[in-house]
């Protein structure tokens, strides 16, 4: 427990962290990777270059300072981060390294403003926060390792099958290399894949991918979009390697399923599954489960066109065989074939008016996944049509973030 003086000092730094938080976290990663380059085997290099990891950490540090006297208030965020840490292989021995370099970064950025009292208070606070994560993650590791078919860290899997789902999306089917069982999972969860042999890369690369199939417990399936270079954004190292180098029979390393963006056990309210692009991957898994339960579900998917769209036929088949399922597709730039075959229900973008037509029961629970701009627009549209904020569930690709609240006039 922290004494009141320490709590007061930490909370007094909230305005400073709001202003300088991202500079502190940028400096933190520079210092830590400079002294411990081996940690580059764990962290996502692309998120570092894009600044997403720095912004996410700055937000987490800010929240920790703000709620240092009531960490339970940020438990959902802490739990989400802990799930990601377990899937990456973050261990207790990593926390002293992080703490040391976070304190060095605070002192480096704030200079004389980081007084001895502030540094001492933050050292104590970090100890409490680190212990909370370590204890939470120990439970996650124990659960992952002791469940039927489970394991704690990474396990070798064989690529059993590869299926081209669209021009840019491939599905990869993985079975255990040891022939054993695999751990069960809840629709919406993800696995981490660790690749050590990407040409020209010194370090391992780990990425999280949602599980896109939940009808068979003998394999895991992920469906990966090939991220090509666009403007100043380079091509995705892992997605490109999976698409161009990985073949059936290859061995990869996977973590056990993780994540808290999961299909909840609720049958009294209808469900809306709302996705953009490859954000369909966790939604398709959820749809399969909801169809089995004959749960009233509205499935809404945005895609550029039918050439890019994965699982269209599979979704339509589920809809045709289940009276409880309604599926709608919105294509930004439909092809002539899309038009002639009536592959879509709306052209352009998903709008609040269209959502209002499709979602008749505003008490529905909404799950959504996709690119950040898509989810921000959908979040605002859902609130506009009367969906309650606490009925909206979402997950980002990459570091944890929060959607911005709509501006009020």
pLDDT tens figures, 8-44: 999 999 999 989 999 999 999 999 999 999 999 998 7
Per-residue pLDDT averaged across 337-347, rounded?
Answer: 97
Active-site hit among 95, 209, 220, 331: 95
Instruction: For residues 180 and 68, give the distance between their C-alpha atoms in angstroms, rounded to a whole number.
Output: 44
403 confidence band (pLDDT: 50, 70, 90): low
Pick the CATH number of 271-395 from 3.40.50.80, 3.40.50.150, 3.30.390.50, 1.10.3720.10: 3.40.50.80
Q: By three-state DSSP, how is residue 20 classified?
A: helix
Tokens describing residue 409: 């006039």
pLDDT grade for 382, boundaries at 50, 70 and 90? very high
CA proximity to 272, closest of 117, 102, 388 = 388
d(CA 109, CA 32): 15
Sign of CA dihedral 313, 330, 408, 397: positive
Partnered with residue 346 across adjacent β-strands are 330
Among the listed residues 227, 296, 256, 273, the one whose alpha carbon sits nearest the alpha carbon of residue 367: 273
pLDDT for 55 beyond 50: yes
How high is the pLDDT of residue 398?
A: 57
Q: How far is CA 67 from CA 16, 63, 70, 124, 298, in A?
A: 15, 6, 5, 15, 37
Read off the pLDDT of each residue in 50-67 and give the average, rounded to a whole number.
83
Q: Across residues 332-343, what is the average pLDDT?
A: 97
The answer to whether the CB of 133 falls within 8 A of the CB of 81 is: yes
Q: What angle do CA 124, 54, 389 make, to 5 degrees?
A: 90
How many whole angstroms separate alpha carbon 175 and alpha carbon 192?
15
Distance, CA of 393 to CA of 171 (rounded, Å): 25
Give 85-120 as a 3 state SS string.
HHHHCCCCCHHHHHHHHHHHHHHHHHHHHCCHHHHH
Residue range 150-161, pLDDT digits in tens = 999 999 999 999
Confidence at residue 156, expressed as pLDDT on a 0 to 100 scale: 98
Residue 17: CB atoms within 10 Å? 22
Q: Which residue among the candidates 22, 62, 126, 137 is catalytic per the annotation?
A: 137
95 catalytic? Reply is yes
Q: What is the mean pLDDT of residues 67-95?
A: 90
**Which CA distances in Å does 33 have to 29, 41, 96, 103?**
6, 10, 14, 15
Per-residue burial over 115-146, b = 16 or more CB atoms within 10 Å of its CB, e = otherwise: eeebbebbebbbeebbeebbebbeebbeebee
What mean pLDDT, rounded, does the chain reach? 92
Q: Find the helix or strand (DSSP H, E) in which 80 lies.
A: helix 75-88
CA distances from 352 to 191, 355, 356, 380, 383 (A): 33, 5, 6, 8, 9
3-state helix, strand, coil in the chain (%, to 5): 45, 20, 35
The pairing of beta strand 346-347 with beta strand 325-331: parallel
Question: Under CATH, to which class is 4-146 assigned?
Answer: mainly alpha
Residue 313: which H helix or E strand, with range? helix 312-320
Checking if the pLDDT of 356 tops 50, the result is: yes
Percent of the chain whose pLDDT exceeds 90: 79
pLDDT for the residue 52: 72
126 is catalytic: no
Residues 166-179: what's their mean pLDDT?
A: 97
The pLDDT score that the predictor gives to residue 409 is 38
DSSP of 276-289, one letter per residue? EGGGHHHHHHHHHH
Residues in the chain: 409
Strand 365-369 relative to strand 271-276, pairing: parallel
- The pTM (predicted TM-score) of the whole model is 0.92
User: Residues of CATH 1.10.490.10 domain(s) within the chain?
Assistant: 4-146
Multiple choice CATH, 154-255, 2.40.30.10, 3.30.70.270, 3.30.590.20, 2.30.40.10: 2.40.30.10
CB distance 242 to 314 below 8 Å: no
Residue 186 to residue 51: CA distance in whole angstroms: 31
Name the segment(s) of the chain with CATH classification 3.40.50.80. Answer: 271-395
pLDDT digit string (tens) for 281-296?
999 999 999 999 889 9
């Amino acid at each position: 427990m922290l004494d009141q003086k320490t709590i007061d000092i930490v909370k007094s730094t909230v305005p400073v962290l709001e202003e300088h938080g991202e500079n502190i976290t940028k400096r933190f990663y520079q210092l830590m990777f400079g002294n411990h380059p081996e940690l580059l085997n764990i962290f996502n290099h692309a998120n570092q270059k894009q600044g997403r990891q720095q912004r996410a950490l700055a937000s987490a540090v800010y929240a920790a300072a703000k709620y240092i006297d009531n960490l339970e208030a940020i438990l959902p965020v802490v739990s989400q981060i802990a799930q990601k840490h377990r899937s990456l292989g973050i261990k207790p021995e990593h926390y002293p390294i992080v703490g040391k370099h976070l304190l060095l970064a605070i002192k480096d950025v704030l200079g004389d403003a980081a007084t001895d009292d502030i540094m001492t208070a933050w050292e104590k606070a970090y100890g409490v926060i680190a212990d909370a994560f370590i204890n939470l993650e120990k439970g996650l590791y124990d659960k992952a390792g002791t469940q039927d078919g489970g394991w704690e860290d990474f396990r070798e899997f064989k690529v059993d099958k590869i299926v081209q789902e669209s021009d840019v999306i491939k599905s990869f089917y993985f079975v255990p290399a040891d022939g054993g069982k695999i751990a069960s999972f809840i629709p919406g969860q993800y696995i981490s894949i660790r690749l050590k042999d990407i040409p020209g890369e010194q370090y391992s690369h780990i990425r999280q991918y949602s599980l896109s199939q939940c009808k068979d417990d003998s394999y895991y399936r992920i469906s990966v979009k090939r991220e090509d270079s666009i403007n100043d954004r380079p091509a995705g190292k892992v997605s490109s390697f999976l698409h161009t180098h990985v073949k059936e029979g290859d061995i990869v390393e996977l973590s056990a399923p993780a994540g808290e963006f999961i299909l909840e056990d609720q049958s009294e309210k209808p469900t809306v599954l709302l996705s953009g692009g490859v954000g369909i991957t966790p939604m398709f898994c959820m749809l399969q489960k909801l169809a089995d339960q004959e749960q009233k579900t509205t499935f809404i998917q945005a895609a550029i066109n039918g050439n890019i769209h994965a699982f269209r036929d599979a979704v339509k088949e589920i809809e045709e065989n289940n009276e409880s399922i309604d599926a709608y597709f919105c294509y930004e730039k439909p092809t002539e074939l899309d038009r002639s075959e009536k592959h879509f229900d709306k052209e352009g973008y998903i709008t609040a008016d269209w959502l209002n037509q499709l979602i008749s029961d505003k008490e529905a629970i909404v799950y959504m996944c996709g690119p950040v701009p898509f989810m921000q627009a959908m979040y605002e549209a859902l609130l506009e049509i009367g969906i309650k904020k606490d009925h909206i569930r979402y997950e980002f690709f990459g570091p944890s973030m929060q959607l911005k609240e709509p501006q009020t006039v």
